[in-house]
Structure 1
Amino acid sequence: MAVRLKFLTEDEQEIALALRYWAMDEEGAYLERVSDLVPFREITQPGAVAKFVRQICWAYDENQVCRVCNKAMRVNGRTDAKKTPQRSYHPCHDCQEREREEQDKRAAAQRAELEKQLAPYIARARTIAISYIDLTDDAALILQAIHALVGQRLTQGTFNRVDCDELTPMGADDFIDRLYAQDILEDDPTAACAEAYFIKDGTVWHKKSLAHYFLPPDTRLGGAEDAFSLLLEREFSDAEALTNLWLDYAVTDVMRYLHYQCSMHNQILEFEAIKKIEGTARHGLRKYSVAQLWFIMWKVVRDAAALASRSYYSREKAVATIPTKVRKQLEIADQGSELRNDWSRPESHITGSLGMIFNSKFDLDEFSTGAKVIEMFTRLGNKKRGGVELNELAVAFMKGTLENQSSLPALEAFTEMVRAGLSTGDALMETITRNPELFR
């Protein structure tokens, strides 16, 4: 027969049963039915015969050869045996064991190498410190928003990205990546699961979704909550950093609403379209509010849904028009068309902890227009700068106008700013900003 047996018993009756079970003719047909083999001792059911035979012998099918060693394959029962010669799709039992042992050795070597490379990585994480005072305004605001979500774990433990899902309406990944790239947030391998870190091209990598992060202690005050109070009590003055962070946040607020509207109409945006809309929205948010951009998103999605219902348009073609429609609506608004600013936030659409920080610190929300936001941050920056540099600013004002023989028109412009209600510092800055030709 095509099946070779290796017996694990010396019992003649058991050997005879196994031979009868596997006996076949030249064409591979079995000579006896399994039901004819029972009863045998305590075995009375045909279904138990194959299991018993496997316990007393190993069967090797000569018609099936291992794809690795070309030896006969071990089979468990009659249904596994083949009538014609062929190569198995899977390695034989012995080859599988060898492959498993080799995999275990490789895995052990990789773990040892990973532990070796992680050792200095872990040591650095335990000793690194940063200066909280030197952090940029945008970084400080993001950290305050993370602290609102994870509390003391920011400075005295670790947190993961899932913990920060409610940082913005679209999650936290981009903002955590920003702080991590700036070496403000660090990851702790000892707090993450074993699958979080791996070696690629000789370098340690980690899976962002599994990593655990923390804020290193302050170089002067350490990692206590008192140190973090430096960030909580911080006075903000970097107009550019604050403006860019607001725009980054506001874009997430707009895009969350866009995705919500698209889901209501079973519309799926391509990655390139999403990026294009994000860029257009960011530009629009320098002038308009989040709520006004929500109105645009509602309108263009509704128009695309109507377009898709026409016989000569498919849903995919209609969705592809959304990025252009968004830009077109902004162009119409720039030409004088009024955008509604009373669009309400859907119940499931969160503000996010970063949005709440902007609201508590600067009284900003979805109805704050971009133009007023930028103006407010610019004024905040000028105010801070004026308190420190007012004397230098006055000297530069006087020196510049004297050298250019433009003292009279410069003083007239300054007087108009004061009459408009601006402080001395703001009036000087506005005069210089609006009349650069007087100071060249």
Structure 2
Amino acid sequence: MAVRLEFLTQDSEERALAMRYWATDEEGAYLERVADLVPFREIVQSGQIAKQVREYCLAFDENQSCCLCGGEVRINGRAEAKKVFQRSSTPCAPCAELQNRKRAEQAALEQAEISKRLAYKMERSAAATLDYTSLPDNVVLLILAINAVVAPRLAHGTFGIADCDDLAPLNADKFVKQLCKDEYLLEDPGAAKAGTYFLQNGELWHKTYQLELFLPPDKTHGRGIGALGLLDEHRFTDPDSLFNLWLDYAVADVLRYLLDQCNIYSHDLEDEAIEKITSTVRHGLQTYSVAQLWSVMWKVVKDAASLANREYYNRPKAVATIPNKIRKLLEVADQQGGIQRSWDRPEHHLAGSLGMVFSNLFDIDEYSQGSHVIELFNRLRPPAQVETEHNLQSLAEAFMRSASNGPDPWSAMEHFADKIRAGLTTEDALMEAFGQ
């Protein structure tokens, strides 16, 4: 017999059953079928025999050696026995127990280290505050939009990145991650479920979509609905940050529509193609509206579907034409007076809470042309800043006229460049170069 037995019973009938179950011929074939071993006492079904035999004896396969220690391997049934000698694929019971014990000890050490590091993180987070009255314009808009989808947890509790999926039509997590990176939102490890944080190569890592986030309290008013009310009174004065946030949002709105259309025609855009399209769309949105660009997306996807059905063409080659086709259509539009058509928002395509905040505060939406949005935001500049920019522009124009009319324009420009390289501001450099 290739299986060595250690009996756990002194009952002769039980021993005999175990030996019959494991008995083999010289070639390793079992002498009796399991079905022939029943009935045995109260056992009448063959499927119960193996379990019963394990209560009568321990079986060790002499044709297997432990992959770790080289010792004999215990098996539980006929299917685990081998006909020729080999190393086992799993460790023997003593080795497995030792491994488990070492893993448990290592896990305990790692958990202790994780707890230590999280305690420090929690201490820093608990001490953090913000000045709600001086937050950047784009941050205020994002916080208002997040509150619209997670309230009342922004004021009193915590929330996860996945809770903000309705923030924007596409890639809403990018907006939330940026707020985390800039520390306008902080992690609350104490509220996260077990396993969110772990060590890897000695560094503390986390599972991003299991994080629990919170908005730090205002330095004066603390946390709560009353403190968030300060954001409703915020005065917007930074056109650049507002327009860049609008572009981020509007690009997501256009790409969501594009990807939906690609899905209809089974077009699979590669990451590189999406990156090119993103740049083109972002530039186009400085002039056109989201709705106008939807019409462009619709046309290029439909054209690609038609191209894919042509002889000597295929779908990947047709899809590869989409980025350049978008760019070409926008170039033609610029030359011929703009995009003439615009599409309505599909019923299943949500504007997202950020879109609603833009609409409520600035009355802009998918039909607002980029040029109009720029003009609208520029009106928010404080009068003093507008006057300063106007004076700087006038100074620059005067310097350019003087340099071009002077005996050595090149020398004048070199002098200006030297002042800039020396660290002067544009205005100071112009003043000195102009004076000289």
Q: CA deviation at 1:399?
A: 9.8
What is the letter of the counterpart of residue 325 of structure 2?
K
- Note if contact 2:187-2:213 (Cα within 8 Å) is conserved in structure 1: yes
What is the letter of the counterpart of residue 315 of structure 1?
R
- Tell me, in whole angstroms, the C-alpha distance in 2 between the residues paired with 1:401 and 1:20: 105
Unaligned runs of 5+ in 2: 403-433
- Is 1:127 matched with 2:127? yes
Q: Which residue of 2 aligns with 1:347?
A: 347
- Is 1:164 matched with 2:160? no
Q: Which residue of 2 aligns with 1:199?
A: 199
- Note if contact 1:289-1:341 (Cα within 8 Å) is conserved in structure 2: no
What is the letter of the counterpart of residue 369 of structure 1?
Q
Query: Closer, same or farther in 2 for the Cα pair 1:439/1:134, shift >3 Å?
Result: farther
Question: Partner of 2:380: helix, strand, or coil?
Answer: helix
**Over residues 131-182 of structure 1, what are the superposed CA-to-partner deviations in whole Å (9 max), with x where a residue is unaligned?**
1122110011111111111123113111111211110001421111111111
Matches within 5 A, 1:45-194: 45-194=45-194
Q: Which residue of 1 aligns with 2:380?
A: 380
TM-score if structure 2 supplies the norm length? 0.87
- Tell me, in whole angstroms, the C-alpha distance in 2 between the residues paired with 1:395 and 1:63: 92
What is the letter of the counterpart of residue 186 of structure 2?
E
Question: Partner of 1:380: helix, strand, or coil?
Answer: coil
- Note if contact 2:300-2:326 (Cα within 8 Å) is conserved in structure 1: yes
- Note if contact 2:162-2:173 (Cα within 8 Å) is conserved in structure 1: no
- Note if contact 1:400-1:439 (Cα within 8 Å) is conserved in structure 2: no
Question: Partner of 1:59: helix, strand, or coil?
Answer: strand
- Note if contact 1:73-1:92 (Cα within 8 Å) is conserved in structure 2: yes
**Over residues 368-404 of structure 1, what are the superposed CA-to-partner deviations in whole Å (9 max), with x where a residue is unaligned?**
11011111111221xxxx5446887899899999999
- Is 1:41 matched with 2:41? yes
What is the letter of the counterpart of residue 201 of structure 1?
N
Query: Closer, same or farther in 2 for the Cα pair 1:86/1:405, shift >3 Å?
Result: closer
- Is 1:296 matched with 2:312? no
- Tell me, in whole angstroms, the C-alpha distance in 1 between the residues paired with 2:121 and 2:320: 46
What is the letter of the counterpart of residue 201 of structure 2?
D
Question: Partner of 1:199: helix, strand, or coil?
Answer: strand
- Tell me, in whole angstroms, the C-alpha distance in 1 between the residues paired with 2:339 and 2:190: 52
TM-score if structure 1 supplies the norm length? 0.86
Unaligned runs of 5+ in 1: 407-437
* Percent of pairs with identical residues: 51
- Tell me, in whole angstroms, the C-alpha distance in 1 between the residues paired with 2:253 and 2:46: 67
- Tell me, in whole angstroms, the C-alpha distance in 1 between the residues paired with 2:325 and 2:391: 51
Query: Closer, same or farther in 2 for the Cα pair 1:85/1:146, shift >3 Å?
Result: same
- Tell me, in whole angstroms, the C-alpha distance in 1 between the residues paired with 2:289 and 2:337: 15
Query: Closer, same or farther in 2 for the Cα pair 1:392/1:315, shift >3 Å?
Result: closer
- Is 1:263 matched with 2:240? no
Q: CA deviation at 1:270?
A: 0.7
Deviates more, 1:218-227 or 1:187-196: 218-227
- Tell me, in whole angstroms, the C-alpha distance in 1 between the residues paired with 2:144 and 2:401: 49
- Note if contact 1:295-1:340 (Cα within 8 Å) is conserved in structure 2: no
Query: Closer, same or farther in 2 for the Cα pair 1:282/1:397, shift >3 Å?
Result: closer
The alignment yields a C-alpha RMSD, in angstroms, of 2.6
- Note if contact 1:43-1:49 (Cα within 8 Å) is conserved in structure 2: yes
Deviates more, 1:192-201 or 1:246-255: 192-201
Q: CA deviation at 1:212?
A: 1.0
Q: Which residue of 1 aligns with 2:420?
A: none
Deviates more, 1:240-249 or 1:372-381: 372-381
- Is 1:286 matched with 2:280? no
**How many residues in Structure 1 have an aligned counterpart in Structure 2?**
405
Q: Which residue of 1 aligns with 2:221?
A: 221
